[in-house]
Each structure stands twice: as C-alpha cells, then as structure tokens.
Amino acid sequence: MQLPQAIERVLLDEAAIQRRVTELAAYIDAEYADAGQLVLVGVLKGAFIFMADLTRRLTVPHTVDFIALSSYNKSTTRSGEVRLIMDTRTALVQRHVVVVEDIVDSGHTLEYLIRNLAARQPASLRTCALLSKPDRREVDVAIDYLGFEIPDVWVVGYGLDYADRYRTLPYIAELKRAVYSS
C-alpha cells in the first residue's frame, strides 16, 4: 500500500476499525433497546465518518444531529479554549443523548460538551469516542463507549485531520512527528 509522504505508519486498518464500530453499535443497541427517543450528536468535523458508520450499524430507532466546536489558538494540533460554532437542530430535553466524538485528547472538548448538553436536561447523556489518548488527559471525563486507546501521537484518517488534510484516508495513521512538531 502506498502511504502519503507525511504518514509514519498505519495504527488501525480499515478492517479493525469496522470490526470495532460494529461492536460499539451492538453495545449501544443493547443498552437503548427499550429507551426510545435516542439521538446521536456527532461532533463536527472529525466525527463525521465514524458517525456515518455507527449510525448505519444501529438497529435501535434513533435520529442523528450534529454540533460543531472550535478551539481558540488551534489551527493544527493542540486544543485551547472551546467555542460552540454550530448547535444541534433538535431540542435535547427528555431525549436520550449519545455524544459521538472522534478522539479524546486533553478531555477539555468532551468536558465542555457534557456540561453544555447536560444543561438541556436530556433524559440521559452518554459519550462515545472512537479514540482516546489517555497519556494526554488533563481533565477526567467518562467515555462510556470507547473504540481504541492509542499512544500520544498525532493521528489522521477516518475523519481525523491535520490542518484539514487526510480526513478521507480509510485507515487511522500516525503522522510523522516532523510534520506536526515544527
């Protein structure tokens, strides 16, 4: 396989990702079988591909919605203060909400989301993230459905980007350190 020049190595190939997404969907299916009013809230842009695969594997009735966040001082890698730039269309009051994130790094984004969404008085609120970098955590956040733990490296592909590039790679790959540490 020909890898883009900026890629160090593939961490998770397409088959491994798909297997795990199927498992996560099965957990969610089982736990929300009788809940009703389930809405998945995907976090743009990073979670859009994960969200598309996850939602199509769920058999429990649900709707999808999206939220977009941005961090100050962040054009490429590390996150700063979080800012809401697009809200959900759905009112979340009395709904069972699962937030769908691409990756939890410091945890600040997810913490912000939990606080923001909990204030809308949903019937329940849980979190789902494809990836987590536990070594980078600055705030303790609960991830109820987690795909994979990965080391402290910058990853791209399957929706994740570096300066808006590499989102459509079908695998999750580690970027060469020289690309993001300069």
Residues noted as catalytic: 105
Under the binding rule (CB under 6 A), the answer on residue 166 touching ligand IMP is no
**DSSP 3-state of 73:** coil
| N-to-C CA span, the chain | 27
Rounded to a whole number of angstroms, the minimum distance from the CB of residue 47 to Mg ion is 6
Q: Which of 96, 102, 164 is nearest to 124 (CA)?
A: 96
Where are the strands (E) in 46-122, listed by range?
62-71, 82-86, 96-104
Site string for Mg ion, 67-106 (x = CB under 5 A): -----------------------------------x----
Rounded to a whole number of angstroms, the minimum distance from the CB of residue 43 to ligand IMP is 6
Rounded to a whole number of angstroms, the minimum distance from the CB of residue 103 to Mg ion is 6
- Cβ proximity to Mg ion: between 70 and 124 the closer is 70
- Residues 84 to 123 in contact with ligand IMP, rule: CB under 6 A: 101-110
Under the binding rule (CB under 5 A), the answer on residue 42 touching Mg ion is no
Residues 6+ apart with CB under 8 A from 65: 39, 40, 41, 42, 88, 89, 90
- Which residue's entry shows tokens 């890898």? 3
Q: What residues line the site for Mg ion (CB under 5 A)?
A: 46, 102
